[in-house]
Structure 1
Amino acid sequence: MLNYILRSADNKLNIGMNRKHNWFSTILVLTFWGGYLVPVIFKDGFLKHGGTLRKLFVMCMSYFTISVLYGLIFGLLTALIMRFALSLFEIKVKYLELLKLMRTSYEPFVLILITYTVQIAIANYYESTFIQENLAATGIMIIVFSFVSSGVVIWASIIFYRGMNRLTGLNFFQNFLIHIGSGMVLAPINIYIMYT
């Protein structure tokens, strides 16, 4: 099973890393990644009861807008910091190659963007008769969404670290430290957002 997963990740990397760099698809995929991170940073602040189509529209548009901004700003900066960190170890990796890897790895996050949008809709209409009459089904759906989200994160991480190994020649632990270290540089901004 593990060999099959790793082979599938390698196949995805072969396809993704050999594609020509495209800014539109990179921005789109970074938006997917932002759509995964925004609920974590904002502590599910979008899952509020509203009950009107207008409030649902506002919540969804806010979520999408912040996902785009967060994904772009933090995605592009993370890749830049990683490139700088690798250069300290005299490992030359092109910035566009790191972005290509992020694009290839983060594509599955579109599922989280979709499922979280559905959760926003459920929360908005939580007090409606339809939701109240189908609470069990709604609960099962949310549990399924949680499993899907966990699976997506694991799958994206496997692809990303396999790709990092190809680009850098470093082992998993070294690549993990560089990736986490790059994220830690941006941590103060994340902490500020979380607690304001």
Structure 2
Amino acid sequence: MSTPAFTLYGDRRSGNCLKIVYAADWLGLGYRFVDVDIMTGESRTPEFLTVNPAGQVPAVDFGGGKTLAQSNAVLLYLAANTALLPEDPFLRAKVNEWLFWEQYNHEPYVAVCRFHMVYQGRSADEREAWRVERAEAALDHMEAQLAGKSFLVGEALSVADISLLAYTRLAGEGGFDLSTRPNLSAWISRCETALELKPAAA
């Protein structure tokens, strides 16, 4: 049995952790997944803080004292010199542009609304109105940007798609309706096919 390429500490319901799973599986990288229950403080234990002092998941241990956190940073590391990261410098910069946008304009709104509903059991009506508004704007932005395009950057799947897919395909769990966004829905289906994922529940 081959030695895992890394150990991934994470929560299987977290989109930020699923990003790493999607990329590693597509790349054929072996890894060990260690479940961390963020709701019971397992990401704040002294043992976990040696892997990621920020106390957040995902956190990846590559062995030999090499650890890495922040999901998009891990994606970029795994994708180096693979088809998931364009060779062209400008296209690579466009990938980074989407990764930065995801963490600033998408994740704090789409993902947090989902967190409130999935993890905390709130109803859609109990979501914060200002956060919902920004999440809807983020989804609308993606809908517009995907017009006439198969993927976010270039003509092939990249880590930009994987990064945005993780929470977008689960947006329904945060109370968002994707059925009125045909470009976004088609892109989700396209990415799920490329990554061999079962379609997310409506």
Shorter-chain TM-score: which interval? 0.3 to 0.5
Q: Which has the larger radius of gyration?
A: 1
Higher relative contact order by CA 8 Å / sep ≥ 6: 1 or 2?
1
Which of the pair is proportionally richer in strand? Answer: 2
Q: TM-score, normalised by structure 1?
A: 0.35
